Amino acid sequence: MKYLLWDFDNTLAYRDGMWSSTIHNLLLDYGYTNFKLEDVRPYLKTGFPWNFPELSHEEFFNGKQWWEHMSSHFCNILREIGIEADVAKSISDNIREKYLTPDKWYLYDDTISCLKISLERGYSNIVISNHVPELQELINALGISDYFIKVYSSAHVGFEKPNKKIYETAIMSLEDPESITMIGDNYFADVQGAKKAGIDAILVRKPNDYNYDKYFTTLKELADFI
């Protein structure tokens, strides 16, 4: 069988403003209108498990659940920018629901057409993404679950791309793989990570800063190739 492994964020779908906008919008909801998006964004460049892919989740979370750890991290950020402790805790407890709001997530215009073509050409599709535990629910809400035979979120696997162990987890479940190709927008996580696990890879959407040979600016272009 032929398999395509798909990244999710910025490959198949995207969220308005991601984490920065989520927190900024909550600050506005709580009446903190003096904060700008740029005040929040620098604090969110690190602190996520995918910033430390060499660590297993057992090491990174140190016994805590995914959202338990991240809510504490967000609370610390809010305290650092000057929010009172009780309000920071309240805001951080609401980030999960706010981030997962379905109407803030969008498919790219060429996502469904490309997925349809992949099925017509005999591929089985799998999502493998550095993501929150609710990735499957997001995929369901976006109406594309029927295009995939399996969804792997790093939050459940316990490893982040480019760690080859997340790829190995996906590979182990495949039945008689004739070919396996990873498709994603991140050169390090999706291309280099896949290749370390012995998987071919295609880079999409983001500028091809590393002059990778298998690159397409859109999934529409990719559909002509697969």
Query: Residue 199: which CATH number?
Result: 3.40.50.1000
Query: What pLDDT tens digit does each residue of the chain (226 aa) get?
Result: 999 999 999 999 999 899 999 999 999 999 999 999 999 999 999 999 999 999 999 999 999 999 999 999 999 999 999 999 999 999 999 999 999 999 999 999 999 999 999 999 999 999 999 999 999 999 999 999 999 999 999 999 999 999 999 999 999 989 888 899 999 999 999 999 999 999 999 999 999 999 999 999 999 999 999 9
How many structural domains does the chain have?
Answer: 2
Q: Judge if 43 and 85 occupy the same domain.
A: yes
Q: Judge if 9 and 30 occupy the same domain.
A: no
> Within 10 Å of residue 178's Cβ, how many Cβ atoms?
9
Q: Which domain-ending residue is among 102, 123, 146?
A: 102
Structure tokens at 71: 């809510």
Q: Which domain-ending residue is among 37, 70, 102?
A: 102
Closest C-alpha to 166, from 5, 16, 26: 5
Q: Judge if 108 and 78 occupy the same domain.
A: no
| Per-residue confidence (pLDDT) for residue 173, from 0 to 100 | 85
Q: Judge if 53 and 7 occupy the same domain.
A: no
Q: Judge if 161 and 98 occupy the same domain.
A: no
Q: Judge if 58 and 157 occupy the same domain.
A: no
| Per-residue confidence (pLDDT) for residue 28, from 0 to 100 | 98
Q: Judge if 71 and 148 occupy the same domain.
A: no
Q: Judge if 8 and 95 occupy the same domain.
A: no
- C-alpha 34/C-alpha 4 separation (Å) is 46
Strands 13-15 and 105-107: antiparallel
- The pTM for the full model equals 0.95
The residue range of the domain holding 169 is: 2-14+104-225
3-class DSSP assignment, residue 202: strand
Cβ-proximal residues to 128 (8 Å cutoff; 6+ apart), any chain: 5, 6, 7, 152, 161, 166, 167, 170, 182
- C-alpha 223/C-alpha 108 separation (Å) is 14
Strands 200-204 and 215-216: parallel
Length of the chain: 226
| Per-residue confidence (pLDDT) for residue 177, from 0 to 100 | 87
Q: Judge if 116 and 219 occupy the same domain.
A: yes
Q: Judge if 108 and 209 occupy the same domain.
A: yes
Q: Judge if 6 and 28 occupy the same domain.
A: no
Q: Which domain-ending residue is among 84, 102, 120?
A: 102
DSSP letter string, 88-137: HHHHHHHHHHHHT-GGGEEE-TTHHHHHHHHHHTTEEEEEEES--TTHHH
Q: Judge if 208 and 155 occupy the same domain.
A: yes
